[in-house]
Structure 1
Amino acid sequence: MQYRSLDHFISDSKAVLSKGPIALIMVEDAIEIETTLRHHQQLGFATVVAFMPASFALARDVAESKGVLRVDYDMDREGALENAVNAVIEAAPGQWLYACYNAEYLFYPFCETRTVGELLAFHTEERRDAMLTYVVDLYADDLGAAPNAVSLDNAFLDRSGYYALARPDGTPDNHPKERQLDFFGGLRWRFEEHVPAARRKIDRISLFRAKPGLRMRDDHTFTDEEYNTYACPWHHNITASICSFRTAKALKSNPGSRDSIASFKWHNSAPFEWHSRQLLDLGLMEPGQWF
């Protein structure tokens, strides 16, 4: 099913948005669109919505796949992601939503044997309406063979170099916010001279339950501060990872950085195994009380 605009989608998709969880994929370029959509289908999302420019092609088997919807949408305008997400939040109260970009792949504990619906059912039982996700940068090992820095067969990640800082509350005394942290690491940390300070964090609230009045802000946090917490007050909760080529793509396409980066590999690079066990072992997500 294809919609000609965001407004068309919102006005005509009441039945579609009643089936969750729903993945919202923001397509910025033509790289790995189909693999991104298929990956999230296989995780068990009932509906996968691709927001993408009308000029982009989509493989027929994916376009005609049950549960995959296409919305013609311009991702170049400012605030494109949050505008689309906030429109869906208004249209689908009570539904669990997920948002990411193309060439990004969600992993959560035990995702090889458990669906995203099972994950969110458990999270809901723990009285949580949002889940913290870490963006784990992926990059090709050989930029000569993969000049756009994307290679599914030879993807690498950083196995260390991640850290967290207290998130200030913005008052004159800058007290830390309760159960909120800013997380850093990966390519945005190693090549921070090429990344604006406001874009260096690697934490997102990518899985969340829509409710009236909720809004996503431009830093992937929400207007309800409880949504931005990493855990409830009484114990640790599940966290997930978004394994993403997005930063590597940007660093190799930006004129200010592409010529100064010959390789993303360093002594703490490791081949990405495309398995949740590796991410759990590296501490890049936690199972909480879910065993």
Structure 2
Amino acid sequence: MHYKNLKDFLTSPPDALRKGPVAMVFVEDDIEVATTLRHHDHMGFACVIALMPAAFDLPDDLQDIVHRIDYDATADGTVERAVNSIAAAAPGAWMYYCFNAEYLFFPFCETRTVGEMLAFHSEERRDAMLTYVVDLYADDLAEHPDAVSLDRAHLDRSGYYALARKDVARNDHPKERQLDFFGGLRWRFEEHVPHTRRKIDRISLFRAKPGLELRDDHTFSDEEYNTYACPWHHNITAAICSFRTAKALKRNPGSTYDIHTFKWHNSAPFEWHSRQLLDLGLMEPGQWF
């Protein structure tokens, strides 16, 4: 289904939107759009929404699978506005959002669906899930100048850390069960990344409810949604394997000429399997075995 704008979509939303889980893919450029959409359809989302420029083409095999909305996701505030609007139209449904050339992985995703994972997460009385944005990058920038290659994708196997998240309203006292996570390309090339954009944590999976608002730092207005676990034990976390930072660093004139390779001694080929991410500690199964 093709919608001419977001208002058109919200006027006559598909039935699957209210049932969920829903994947919202914001398309910023024409890189790996189809593979991103196919990946999330394969993960088991009941409704896959592509918010993308009208000038971009969608392959024929995705026409009947994806709900396409003509939308500019590159302007400030447009992502938050769309997420909040779509979530408001389906209270109670599980939602997920990402960008093109980003791929969701969760524990045992090769044999289990995202719906099964979220059903278990709901039973643990959790309404949101922490995801880490794990940077992917091509190993040879001369061969792949946009830093994107699915076949030659690499990631950092170490260099990740967390700091206490300060509560400005309480004299910078640490927030309960909230941390700011760092690592990957945003850490290694931090001189080219604004301070406010260096975190790699994102609450990408959440249950919609009235009044809930996504903020521009990938956190929500309900502070419990921003916690990494419940008070009594660890919960499931997931990972979004993303070429987005690598693309930006090579596209930006201020950084592209300073970066000749993203590889370093802690680079490893990405295996496109949840086991690798679990072994590296980039997500955890919690009590889900």
What is the TM-score of this pair, normalised by structure 2? 0.99
Q: 1:12-161 maps to which residues of 2 (within 5 A)?
A: 12-13=12-13, 15-65=15-65, 68-161=66-159
Deviates more, 1:24-33 or 1:8-17: 8-17
1:6, 1:84 within 8 Å by CA — same for their partners in 2? yes
1:124-145 Cα shifts (integer Å, max 9, x gaps): 0000000000000000000011
**Residues 122/172 of structure 1: CA separation in 2 closer, same or farther (3 Å cut):** closer
Cα distance in 1 for partners of 2:279, 2:164 equals 24
2:165, 2:178 within 8 Å by CA — same for their partners in 1? yes
Post-superposition offset of 1:58: 1.0
SS in 2 for 1:40: helix
Post-superposition offset of 1:14: 5.1
Counterpart in the other structure of 1:182: 180
Cα distance in 1 for partners of 2:152, 2:274 equals 17
Post-superposition offset of 1:16: 3.7
1:14, 1:91 within 8 Å by CA — same for their partners in 2? no
Runs of 4+ in 1 over 4 A off after TM superposition: none
SS in 2 for 1:260: coil
Q: Does 1:286 pair with 2:280?
A: no
Cα distance in 1 for partners of 2:129, 2:31 equals 27
What is the TM-score of this pair, normalised by structure 1? 0.98
Cα distance in 1 for partners of 2:111, 2:28 equals 30
1:169, 1:175 within 8 Å by CA — same for their partners in 2? yes
Post-superposition offset of 1:264: 0.1
User: Match of 1:12, as an amino acid?
Assistant: S
Q: Where in structure 1 are there 5+ consecutive unaligned residues?
A: none
- Count of paired positions: 289
Post-superposition offset of 1:80: 1.3
SS in 2 for 1:128: coil
Q: Share of identical aligned residues, percent?
A: 73
Post-superposition offset of 1:172: 5.9
Post-superposition offset of 1:75: 1.5
Counterpart in the other structure of 1:225: 223
Post-superposition offset of 1:76: 2.4
SS in 1 for 2:130: strand
Post-superposition offset of 1:171: 3.1
Counterpart in the other structure of 2:213: 215
Counterpart in the other structure of 1:269: 267
User: Match of 1:244, as an amino acid?
Assistant: S
**Residues 273/14 of structure 1: CA separation in 2 closer, same or farther (3 Å cut):** closer
Q: 1:161-180 maps to which residues of 2 (within 5 A)?
A: 161-171=159-169, 173-180=171-178
Post-superposition offset of 1:78: 1.2
Post-superposition offset of 1:15: 2.2
Given candidates 183, 198, 201, the residue that maps to 2:199 is 201
SS in 1 for 2:254: coil
Deviates more, 1:55-64 or 1:247-256: 55-64
User: Match of 2:100, as an amino acid?
Assistant: N
Cα distance in 1 for partners of 2:60, 2:191 equals 41
Given candidates 236, 239, 243, the residue that maps to 2:237 is 239
SS in 2 for 1:75: coil
1:53-75 Cα shifts (integer Å, max 9, x gaps): 0001111111233xx11000011
User: Match of 1:242, as an amino acid?
Assistant: I
2:16, 2:46 within 8 Å by CA — same for their partners in 1? no
